Amino acid sequence: MRTALITGITGQDGQYLAEHLNSLNYKVYGLVRGQNNPKIEKIKQNFPFIDLIEGDLLDQSSLVAALEVTQPHEVYNLGAISFVALSWNQPVNVGEITGLGVVRLLEAIKLVNKKIKFYQASSSEMFGKVREVPQTEETPFHPRSPYGSAKAYGHYMTVNYRESYEMFACNGILFNHESPRRGLEFVTRKITNTIAKIKLGKVNDLSLGNLEAKRDWGYAGDYVKAMHLMLQEDKPDDYVIATGKTHSVKEFCELAFGHVGLDYKDYVKVDPRFFRPAEVDLLVGDSSKAKKKLGWTPSVTFEELVKMMVDADLALEA
Ligand code: NAP
Ligand code: GDD
């Protein structure tokens, strides 16, 4: 039986990846942190097949111990401070966890067993002020946030360990991916959850920041499959994972409000508090390499994703 250790198991992607690996008959371990983390109970209840192990990307020895105990064939590093807006308020913390955390895990693998295959959750946020459209594996990075900068460091260190120590280390450069399990702080879920609350008379309006920003939004359930496929290749490499289509926050609002028969203009208020010190205006990825080499393509369209999220939030809030 193949064994995988996932960091970030309590997050959106950790949950989908654990389900996917379980469906492929993997033994799945999940790294959890904190002495009273409320998310841990939910994981235990909803995913009883996951074995939880304590550890923290800030603590080198806990990572070494987690690898020694679980002896995984594959490690998926999904743990991070992942909310871009927060990264301006906590740049050092983000550097420590989202950036240096990658190196702590790579070092632990080098020490315990260099044959462990490693997946790093790289991000389209590294492209930032984009140098070309669409973005590919060859597009230079220009990160626009402490988060994007920390991810770029983790990305290059993953390449560096691959080239220096012949480790099987891959970067998945994933564009935005969403689902009903998305954190409420991210714009898509903020919109769909607030729509459900408006529809049920719990709140009256929705305050957002920049409505013009454009993102390449896909479905998280599709994207975790690409993570697994990368580690099944003969050689480690880096891959862009995206839908190839981009939409503005405004378009997301139009579609999501429209799905419940409302006009977003009657509810959405622009609030300067939600603007960022530096914005990533446009992301759209070209995932032809992943299609050609991994046989990966997304299965859920933007329209289907928006409806799925609105419907799930209506059911949750009812
Ligand atoms: P998420 O829902 O925010 O989950 C982040 C996870 O990181 C949580 O499980 C959190 O655990 C864990 N974590 C935070 N600090 C940690 C630490 N010090 N040690 C160990 N774990 C820690 O993020 P996601 O959307 O699933 O994304 C997964 C990964 O992909 C992240 O690295 C993210 O940056 C990256 N990514 C995401 C997207 C996207 O669109 N979703 C796109 C590109 C890249 P706690 O419960 O302990 O807080
Ligand atoms: N969160 C949020 N809240 N974003 C808003 C709001 C708001 O009220 N109003 C407008 N936006 C805009 C942001 O300025 C940004 O341009 C866009 O909506 C998307 O914001 P988020 O959903 O917070 O995601 P993100 O693109 O910054 O980051 C996500 O995707 C990255 C990959 O490109 C995260 O999942 C990152 O972890 C991931 O790496």
> Is 125 assigned a catalytic role?
yes
pLDDT the model gives residue 216 = 99
Same domain, 57 and 154: yes
Q: Using DSSP bridges, classify how beta strands 177-178 and 218-219 pair: parallel, antiparallel or unpaired.
A: parallel
Alpha carbon distance 285, 103 (integer Å): 26
Domain count of the fold of the chain? 2
Same domain, 126 and 71: yes
Ligand 1 centroid – CA 201 distance (Å): 32
Catalytic residue, candidates 82, 87, 122, 123:
123
Alpha carbon distance 190, 20 (integer Å): 26
For residue 305, the enclosing domain spans: 180-215+245-283+300-317
pLDDT the model gives residue 265 = 98
Compute the average pLDDT of residues 306-314: 98
> Pick from 162, 134, 116: which is nearest to 243 by CA?
134
> Pick from 10, 77, 4: which is nearest to 40 by CA?
10
Kindly report the protein residue whose alpha carbon is nearest to atom 45 of ligand 1: 10
pLDDT the model gives residue 217 = 99
Q: Provide φ and ψ at 72, rounded to 5°.
A: -75, 155
Same domain, 127 and 250: no
Same domain, 69 and 195: no
pLDDT tens column, 121-144: 999 999 999 999 999 999 999 999
In a domain, 288, yes or no: no
Structure tokens at 235: 């050689």
In a domain, 289, yes or no: no
> Is 153 assigned a catalytic role?
no
Same domain, 192 and 76: no
Residues sharing a CB contact under 8 Å with residue 155, sequence separation 6 or more, in sequence order: 120, 122, 126, 141, 171, 173, 238
**For the chain, what percent of residues have pLDDT higher than 70?**
100
Q: Is the CB of 10 under 6 A from ligand 1?
A: yes
Q: Using DSSP bridges, classify how beta strands 238-241 and 74-77 pair: parallel, antiparallel or unpaired.
A: unpaired
Compute the average pLDDT of residues 17-23: 98
Place of tokens 């205006």: 281
Does pTM surpass 0.95? yes
Catalytic residue, candidates 82, 87, 125, 179:
125
The percent helix, strand, coil of the chain (3-state, each to 5) is 45, 15, 40
Ligand nearest to the CA of 14: 1
Same domain, 151 and 231: yes
Q: What is the DSSP letter of 75?
A: E
> Is 166 assigned a catalytic role?
no
Q: Is the CB of 118 under 6 A from ligand 2?
A: no
Same domain, 166 and 198: no
Alpha carbon distance 77, 110 (integer Å): 15
Compute the average pLDDT of residues 59-78: 98
**For the chain, what percent of residues have pLDDT higher than 90?**
99
Kindly report the protein residue whose alpha carbon is nearest to atom 25 of ligand 1: 12
pLDDT tens column, 149-206: 999 999 999 999 999 999 999 999 999 999 999 999 999 999 999 999 999 999 999 9
pLDDT the model gives residue 163 = 98
Q: Is the CB of 171 under 6 A from ligand 2?
A: no
Mean pLDDT of the chain: 98
